[in-house]
Structure formats: structure tokens, C-alpha cells
Structure 1
């Protein structure tokens, strides 16, 4: 007999819930915003604090946004698209040859868009339009308690609240 791990996961997250329910002191608004972007020699692009838009005709190896969205327009081709605390949006006519993944956000595959690999949303929703196509696995993991998504809370706790831009290129190995 094979037992499902879902009840054990639900119980563990239930006990972990009070740790995330603490009253946090009001944060002072920041008077600055970290915005970074880089392109690598292998055709990858990465940004932090803003959206990464891959335009028609662009061919990108990896598209990564930290605290921003990855938006893939019609006619663009991306190998893998990853958003951390953001969304991956694959518009009609766009093509992801690998995976579309969001940690702490949603993955949206619009009508006429195609993902050859997996579409994964952890701490958010996977939204697949009627004519959106995903060849691999379709995974969406959220766990709501009291209106809060516990998976998203775990992801946010795991990431540094005061994250700074540390995007390194191959030439920066000495740093």
C-alpha cells in the first residue's frame, strides 16, 4: 500500500503556520530601489528589481528575473525562464524550449504559446489558457491558511529581505 505524503505535508505546514503569523513591525519605506541587469556571453539575461521583457525575434538561453517578471513576447524564443518573487508570462506566439518556473509567483501560458518542458509555479498559480501548450509537467503548489499562501511565505523567508544585486559573469570568478 502506498501512502500519500500530502497529509504529512499539510500537518507540517499547519504547525509551521504560527511561525509565519507573527506581527512584524512596520517597515520603513525604502528611498531607493535596486535595479540590476546583465547579459552573458552565452545569451542569458538576468535582472533584479525590474521586469525582463524578451522581444519578438530575440533568442535567449536563460531569462531570469529576481523581484520582477519575465515576459516573453510573440516571436521570441527562450530556453528556460525563471522568476523569483515574480511572474513568468509566455505570450501568444512565444516559445520556451525548456522550462518556465516561478518561485513565489505565477506562471501564465497564454493561448498560442508553447512550453516544451515543464511549467512550475511554487507559491503561486499556474494559469494555462485553453490553447496554451505545455509538453512537460504542469505543477502548481500553494497552501493557503487564513488567506496567506504558506509556500510563498516559506520561499520569501528563505530569500534575504535585503537582497542586493550579485549577478556575476564568467569574467568575475575572482570576486
Structure 2
């Protein structure tokens, strides 16, 4: 079994890092929300605030979505997949050569989907059709307190803060 790669998790943490910044008491900006997407030269794609869909024929090293889902379609190949406050859906005939991680979301593996590494869902569940395969470990952990799932609550609160992926407007309506 291959050890869990922390590169996708580290990238996702960097994207979410502004959420942990000190609160200066400023009001959150109103207005449109900007969706961020990053494509690196090494084959990593990361998005925030939207779904990341890997289409047939695409090959990526890592796929990361913060506040969005990662959907791996039939014919797509990816090394590792991470969704933070979102779901990972591996469709029939899709292949993940490494690990699938969902923090605050679920993992859904359709019939004939294949994960060569581990499937880890913290604050969610792993749902695999009968003919889906996971070569590594299956780990899911959820902890609820007073009806609230703690991992999901933590991630929601952390990601509700301002991030570098917003457009803010001052009182006069000018874009900054």
C-alpha cells in the first residue's frame, strides 16, 4: 500500500490559509464572489468556490477543490484528489492512481470506479457501489456534538472568513 501523500492536502491548506487570519472587525464585503482556480505546471489543478470536473482524456497530478466538489469522469486519470467542504465523486470507469480525501464531505465511488490508494472521509462518509474498488484503506470518521458534525462545522467557520478570492467594494461602490 502506498503512503498517504500530503501534497494535495498541503496545497488545499495553503488555499484555505487566509481563513485563519486575524479578524480585524471589518464587515464582509457584499457583492459578487470571485471563483479562484489555479493550474500549475506540474499537473495540479485547484479551485475554490466551484466544482472541479475532470473530463475524459484529462490527466492530472492532483485535483483540489475548496468549497466545491471534485468529479472524476470516465476516462480521466488523476494521482490524488482532495475536496475540502465538498464531495469527491469518482464516476464509473474513472481512475484515481493515488488517494481520495474528503474533509467535511462525502466520497462517492460509482460502479467500476477504481482508487489505487486510500479513501479517507473526515466529517463525511464513503459510499461505494458494489463493483467499485479501493486497493488501500477505507477510513471515514464523523463526530457529532449537539447535532452538529464537528469537522464540517470547523471547516465552514474557517472558510467563511475573507479569502484572497473575493472582490470587495468600499462604501462608495468603487472596486478595490
Q: Is the 8 A contact 1:80 1:99 kept in 2?
A: yes
**Distance in 1 between the 2:129 and 2:70 partners?**
18
1:103 aligns with 2:72: no
Q: Which has the higher contact order (CA 8 A, sep 6+)?
A: 2
How far off its partner does 1:156 sit? 3.3
Number of residues of Structure 1 aligned to a counterpart in Structure 2: 140
On the 8 A contact 2:28/2:162 being kept in 1, the answer is no
**2:170 aligned partner:** none
List aligned pairs for 1:23-172, cutoff 5 A.
Answer: 30-159=30-159, 161-165=161-165
Change (3 A) 1:89 1:40: same
CA–CA distance in 2 between the matches of 1:63 and 1:141?
22
Q: Distance in 2 between matches of 1:112 and 1:30?
A: 44
Structure 1 residue 35, shift from structure 2 partner: 0.2
Which ranges of structure 2 fall in alignment gaps of 5 or more residues?
Answer: 1-26, 167-176
Structure with greater Cα Rg: 1
Asked if 2 retains the 8 angstrom alpha-carbon contact of 1:123 and 1:155, the reply is no
